[in-house]
Amino acid sequence: MSLDFNALQSLPESIGRMTQLRELSLRHNPLVWTDQCNAGLRNLSRLEVLDLSFCSLGRSTRLSPLNALRMLFIRSTGIERVPEWNWRSSDLMLLDLRDNHISDITTQALALIDRSLSDNRLNIHLNGNPLSVQTHERIRVLREQRYQSRLGISHNRLLHQETPALKTWLGSASGEQLAARTELWHNVQDCSGSTDFFQVLSDLTTSADFFNDRKALTTRVWTMMEAAAENGELRRQLFDLAAHPQTCGDGLALIFGDMEVRVGVFAITSSTPEAARPLELFKMTRSLDRLDEVEKIARRDIALRMKSNKTVDEAEVRLAYRTGLQVRLGLASRSRSMLFRTLAGVSDADLDSAYREIIARESTPAFFESLIARELWMDYLETRYAHEFEPVKRPFTERLAVLDELSPDMQSDQQYLDRVNQITKERMRAIKACAIKLSIQLSDAVNAGPQ
């Protein structure tokens, strides 16, 4: 449920009765957080994601721990201390505390966080807080021991640097190109919500691609800048992705890669000739699915290492799989290199096994189910092949019309709802079957062509 930008000053009482709620977003509301709010949330035993970012909670706000919660976002809410939490007994995996007034984290609080980190669960992000010198030192020691990529404070912000100077990404540009890129930079920078986007560009200067192939990365950055300037909806999506919590230099490469995927999808849907668009968009969707499978395999590898009590840098392992399989699988990500490959411990045999697993999956129903679960792909199919879906949908539309025409004395309200739900379920199954049929046809056409 999203109640963003609703000028809410308190938590609606009705939310406390929504016991099946799993995600709740209350971003950008002038909330006054009280014990009553905490009491309301305690009834939400299945709540996994709570987003209070940019709510004016205030410095002394206290949030009661919710053991089922997996992600808590309280960025830029004015709080001045890390929330008290049941660190060891909760399922919390991500805590976003960026851009608050937190200056001190006690040794005791860090010890509790340390225990949760050592259980390989929690990622905590503190960028943009006025942390004291003593707290920085405590965090530095903690990061250097085992958990550098899981306690997020970007190096640029630690040094209180501004967003990178324009010249960082101008490279060898001169003349008309220099003037055009300078204007482009400032135009995007002036757009509302651009701060995190430019922070990603700043943090990219610590990535392997910046050191190993700066020229190519510079081209990629300007390609994205041009796309962001040309389309407002794409720009909004890129800004949202840039707001993702940062990890280390290679973690930022993952975020930038996701942003490039959005640009690629936009390019296909806006500029590819209509005749070629179905196959090209299928390739992009398949690439996204393959990328997800690579992530699953990487996380499985990480979990096995953790089970064996091995030290593991999660971002490095994930990036090792991405870069190692990028060419063979045509992944929708262009990060080519890594900083800390020796930390990843991903062998050629691991990559070969992952490749075979992913290719084999693409002949299974699970693959096509995954494709049509993607909103972008399903929306495109229903629009491009409307003539295929119309006869599939028509019988269900007619059945609903007949149901609506029945007089109230022929069915109760509950009977009406039950019948509508049944027709809706049958309709969705029929639409999915049609979408899978079309996806299989396009898959066969792509596989029959040049690879």
Catalytic residues: 248
Residue 150 to residue 144: CA distance in whole angstroms: 11
Residue 420 to residue 389: CA distance in whole angstroms: 20
The residue written with tokens 């029929």 in the block is: 430
Residue 102 to residue 95: CA distance in whole angstroms: 14
The residue written with tokens 């003593």 in the block is: 134
Contacts of 78 (CB under 8 A, 6+ apart): 56, 57, 58, 59, 61, 100, 101
Residue 305 to residue 302: CA distance in whole angstroms: 5
- Smallest Cα–Cα separation from 255: which of 330, 200, 189? 200
* Residue 28 falls in which region: left (phi positive, over 0), alpha (psi -120 to 50) or beta: left
Residue 46 to residue 20: CA distance in whole angstroms: 6
The partner residues of 95 in beta bridges, in order of sequence, read 72, 124
Beta strand extents in 97-236 (DSSP E only): 123-125, 151-152
- Smallest Cα–Cα separation from 106: which of 71, 142, 70, 73? 142
